[in-house]
Structure 1
Amino acid sequence: MPRRRIRVTGAPEAPLRAALAALRAGLGVPGDFPPEVLAEAERAAKAPTPPPYDATDIPFFTLDPPASTDLDQATHLSRRGNGHRVRYAIADVAAFVAPGGALDAEAHRRVNTLYFPDEKVPLHPVVLSEGAASLLPDRTRPAVLWTIDLDGEGRTLAVDVRRALVRSRAKLDYAGVQRAIDSGTAEEPVALLREVGTARERLEVERGGISLNVPEQEITEHDHTYELGYRAPLPADGWNAQLSLLTGMAAAELMLAHGTGILRTLPAAPDGAVARLRRTATALHIDWPHHVSYAALIRTLDPHEPRHAAFLQECTTLLRGARYTPFRDGVLPAITTHSAVAAPYAHCTAPLRRLVDRHASEICLAAVAGQEPPDWVRAVLDALPRRMAEGAQLAGTVERECVDIVEAALLKDRVGDVFDGCVVDVEEHRPTVGTVQLESPAVVGRIEGERLPLGERLRVRLTRADPRTSKILFAPA
């Protein structure tokens, strides 16, 4: 999900807010929830379907960006012999959303939560997504509780999933958890995040999986002004991501064994894409011996080094082509794996923000119970991939366009100024067009010029910055 979350202050007619409002209108982004949806959400918030199992004695914690209130996951880690027990609670949206009701229909229309700088367009009404269904601290909530036992090397020994009441004890953020773990002050359930996370990272290496550590462009607000920066993920980000991957892999295995499910699949990259990546490595002066695999090379790169960061950004092109693959009645699809995960994988850990996850959880619950998935899940299974693809396309457009608008607004009075930057991409068939990443401010924009030295530092001049069209353009200085 997008990480660029800020608030835009000022009057609605302010140029930046006006540009964002125009973007929403132009993209056909859903507006307010219909009255019947809000009414159903209010009723559901007061009387969710109660789960049969009480796990409120387990001291869960959540780990999210500080401002997040739509909390999908809560975690508890403990030792189990020479291994570990991972308890991973996922918000039970199905406890609130009745199949075939107004809430369900609206969720199928929206598909994903969309994040804009000035507001969030949620998948579900706020009374649920940031209230009754969110795993907020010191609140008892219905959840889909995963219990995954790991051996000393982090390999899965046993998996259980059931509906349960849970109660988070603390809302933590990545920077605070990293400090506590590094200083040795973290309590054991949090401190074990490093042990479990690094064990799972070693297994990822072993199976040939890939986690791209690409610095992210972030927009932040300080004293009613906006700043752009680059954020390299902390180790704690990666450890926490491994728990989500672990759960998604366990879900996929349950589905495959049960014979019905919906996987997140990604075929192996075609030879042409890998060949292009090798040419990019050569242009960036990155040594990639033919006997070294793509996955092994990735782990040698430093995202703080501009040449490496440019190459890592190019590597994301190999992740295109991921899709949702449904199957039923024991007839398995031709492709069951996600090539970046290097294993079967399913999305099931973010149901407050992503439509498919609610359905995946129901299939897993049925698999453990030895039952068929509910009829309402089977009825929409084949239509979900198309809806999710449409939602992902819209979410990607929103994220790109929002950053472009904010960049253009920040730079609109600096046309003609010269900046230090690095060319991070050159179009294969148009070598005079590419992408430049500035050192400061942290802007990534289009550049046009006769000589674009990929991966090299150069001085660039801003030639256009128009918030109305959300476009910026640079040229070599």
Structure 2
Amino acid sequence: MPQRAIRFRTTTPVPARAPVDTVALMARFEAIRAELHVPTEFPPDVLAEAAAAVAALVLPERDETAVPFVTIDPVGSMDLDQALHIEREGDGYRVRYAIADVPAFVLPGGAVDTEARQRVETIYAPDQRTPLHPPVIGEDAGSLLPDQVRPAFVWDLRLDAAGDEHGAEVYLAQVRSRARLDYRGVQQSLDDGTADEVLVLLKEVGQLRITLEAARGGASLPLPEQEVTQGPDGDYVLGFRPPVAAEDWNAQISLMTGMAAAQMMLRGKVGLLRTMPPPDQGAVARFRRQAKALGVDWPPSERYGDFIRGLNLADPRQLALVHEATALFRGAGYTAFDGTLPQQQVHAAVAAPYAHVTAPLRRLVDRFGLVVCAALTAGDPVPDWARASLAALPEVMKTGDQRAKAVERACTDAVEAAVLASRVGETFPADVIDVDPKRSRVTVQLTDPAILGTARGESALGRSVQVRIDTADVATGKVEMSIV
């Protein structure tokens, strides 16, 4: 099954659709969390320690509350990891990127730390999110909420006129966000000409960084994002959400910060990289044959990243190729090192060394990367508690990431089954995005409702077909379809 980009939302009104058995669906969500051992409530000792840490917080001496930082996140987000400010500096740019100082609230080896190592990352489901940290930290004192003074790791990045980073440091400071913005609002203000200067510069820098990414051979996979939305009436609706450009520009700031962090770690010979090997040449050759079979032109001199970036998702044949490209993006993991540089240093999709340091409220590993980089920048020893944890973190993160992805997949399967339960026997147009001739099955993508699943029958890759819904069981999340 091809990978899916999934987003869960619970606040936006949605158009009416076929009735959904919400009771059965909620029961299935609970069963999924139980089956996959998702943590429930925080233990009392964790909550007590978190509250005590908030009460005892001492802010950093350095004060950068005069810098007009803003946050950009999905609507309704409370766990705000990042705030940014961009200004012109000569013919280049100065980017300051404030990241929530989660270590200020977590006692190494304490109850909050122990619980976070078990949770690993925030887990999202359509009906609720299971946070990495207690809400008093993750959604309050540790979050970069507007008009609140917060401790943060401030990344100070200098860029030339082409957007290339040529100087980076990170330090602790007090910060205060001026506004909580969302992607669509940012995009709208840029489109209608009402955006503040910082957003205009975000667009400039984001576009320059995308150009640099293409030049170094980076390859982002433009999979359509399957969105599960819950309306005011409690019903769930599936759709494919078109991304807005502002999301890509904002993501480029995070990527640039992660690349700067990786270089700091490599120079200091200690840290934890996010790595991915380059695609196997056999997989690239297979992908090239698939493009040829589908009639999609791929010039021999064009790199696979540039080719993927230019595919048109509105064309069923090219959409199928995007899903097939997931075979080229495998093997991502974490590589820890201390004293000896690792053999594998590059994340192939980023086309550069890269580290996770920009989401500490939602991802365990970032807390350690931030502490390592701050110590290296200051010329201080890396704290023993962080250094001692590096070797174990890759396996911890792998286990947590697998669980989070399993929850997302299972919940989305359940919503698909619920949406289709009242439509068994109906037929829908679909596009074939993968084929399994040995099992006489194909993977198909329906547009409305937005379903990605398998169907019995045979067809060619990239072909438009009609599929019939044979069964849809909410209790198991299984949907059976067949080509008609």
Quickly name the TM-score band, shorter chain normalised: over 0.9
Secondary structure in 1 aligned to 2:41?
coil
Q: State yes or no: 1:388 paired with 2:397.
A: yes
Amino acid at match of 1:4: F
Correspondence 1:53-452 to 2 at 5 A: 53-224=62-233, 225-329=235-339, 331-427=340-436, 430=438, 432-449=440-457, 451-452=458-459
How far residue 8 of structure 1 moved from its aligned partner, in angstroms, is 12
The RMSD of aligned alpha carbons is 1.7
Amino acid at match of 1:448: R
Q: Distance in 2 between matches of 1:406 and 1:8?
A: 17
How far residue 222 of structure 1 moved from its aligned partner, in angstroms, is 2.6
Q: State yes or no: 1:6 paired with 2:6.
A: no
| Contact 2:121–2:364 (8 Å) recurs in 1 | yes
Q: Indicate the residue corresponding to 1:457 in structure 2.
A: 464
| Contact 1:325–1:385 (8 Å) recurs in 2 | yes
Q: Distance in 2 between matches of 1:194 and 1:150?
A: 14
Q: Distance in 2 between matches of 1:251 and 1:377?
A: 15
How far residue 396 of structure 1 moved from its aligned partner, in angstroms, is 1.0
When residues 431 and 388 of structure 1 are mapped into structure 2, their CA distance, relative to the original with a 3 A threshold, is same
| Contact 2:46–2:112 (8 Å) recurs in 1 | yes
Q: Distance in 1 between matches of 2:70 and 2:262?
A: 25
| Contact 1:7–1:117 (8 Å) recurs in 2 | no
| Contact 1:219–1:226 (8 Å) recurs in 2 | yes
How far residue 431 of structure 1 moved from its aligned partner, in angstroms, is 5.6
When residues 189 and 408 of structure 1 are mapped into structure 2, their CA distance, relative to the original with a 3 A threshold, is same
Equivalent of residue 476 in structure 2, options 469, 472, 476: 469
Secondary structure in 2 aligned to 1:248?
helix
Q: Distance in 2 between matches of 1:108 and 1:400?
A: 23
Q: Distance in 2 between matches of 1:433 and 1:445?
A: 10
Amino acid at match of 1:454: L
Using CA pairs under 8 Å that are at least 6 residues apart, name the structure with larger relative contact order, 1 or 2. Answer: 2
Q: Indicate the residue corresponding to 2:52 in structure 1.
A: 43
Q: Distance in 2 between matches of 1:413 and 1:7?
A: 24
| Contact 1:5–1:115 (8 Å) recurs in 2 | no
Amino acid at match of 1:234: V
Q: Distance in 2 between matches of 1:214 and 1:118?
A: 24
| Contact 1:86–1:148 (8 Å) recurs in 2 | yes
Deviations 1:103-138 (A, max 9, x none): 000000110100011111110011111111011111
Amino acid at match of 2:8: R
When residues 8 and 287 of structure 1 are mapped into structure 2, their CA distance, relative to the original with a 3 A threshold, is closer
Q: Distance in 2 between matches of 1:177 and 1:137?
A: 16
How far residue 284 of structure 1 moved from its aligned partner, in angstroms, is 2.7
Q: Distance in 2 between matches of 1:424 and 1:283?
A: 13
How far residue 292 of structure 1 moved from its aligned partner, in angstroms, is 2.0
Deviations 1:47-98 (A, max 9, x none): 2242121111011111111021111100111110111111100011001001
Q: Distance in 2 between matches of 1:151 and 1:349?
A: 22
Q: Distance in 1 between matches of 2:177 and 2:326?
A: 35
Amino acid at match of 1:435: T
Q: Distance in 2 between matches of 1:433 and 1:244?
A: 40
Number of residue pairs matched?
A: 472
TM-score by length of 1: 0.96
| Contact 2:9–2:230 (8 Å) recurs in 1 | no
How far residue 299 of structure 1 moved from its aligned partner, in angstroms, is 2.5
Q: Distance in 2 between matches of 1:93 and 1:204?
A: 30
| Contact 2:203–2:246 (8 Å) recurs in 1 | yes
| Contact 1:69–1:134 (8 Å) recurs in 2 | yes
| Contact 1:73–1:90 (8 Å) recurs in 2 | yes
Q: Indicate the residue corresponding to 1:22 in structure 2.
A: 31
Secondary structure in 1 aligned to 2:75?
coil
| Contact 1:431–1:452 (8 Å) recurs in 2 | no
Q: Distance in 1 between matches of 2:241 and 2:295?
A: 24
Q: Distance in 2 between matches of 1:398 and 1:304?
A: 29
| Aligned residues with identical type, % of pairs | 51
Q: Distance in 2 between matches of 1:248 and 1:404?
A: 33
| Contact 1:213–1:232 (8 Å) recurs in 2 | no
Q: Distance in 1 between matches of 2:92 and 2:326?
A: 34
When residues 452 and 431 of structure 1 are mapped into structure 2, their CA distance, relative to the original with a 3 A threshold, is farther
Q: Distance in 2 between matches of 1:468 and 1:232?
A: 30
Q: Distance in 1 between matches of 2:456 and 2:11?
A: 32
Q: Distance in 2 between matches of 1:220 and 1:376?
A: 41
| Contact 2:206–2:248 (8 Å) recurs in 1 | yes
| Contact 1:2–1:115 (8 Å) recurs in 2 | no
Q: Distance in 2 between matches of 1:65 and 1:115?
A: 14
Task: Flag structure 1 segments of 5+ consecutive residues without an equivalent.
Answer: none
Q: Distance in 2 between matches of 1:45 and 1:264?
A: 31
How far residue 13 of structure 1 moved from its aligned partner, in angstroms, is 8.8
When residues 13 and 179 of structure 1 are mapped into structure 2, their CA distance, relative to the original with a 3 A threshold, is closer
Deviations 1:346-372 (A, max 9, x none): 000000010000000011001101122
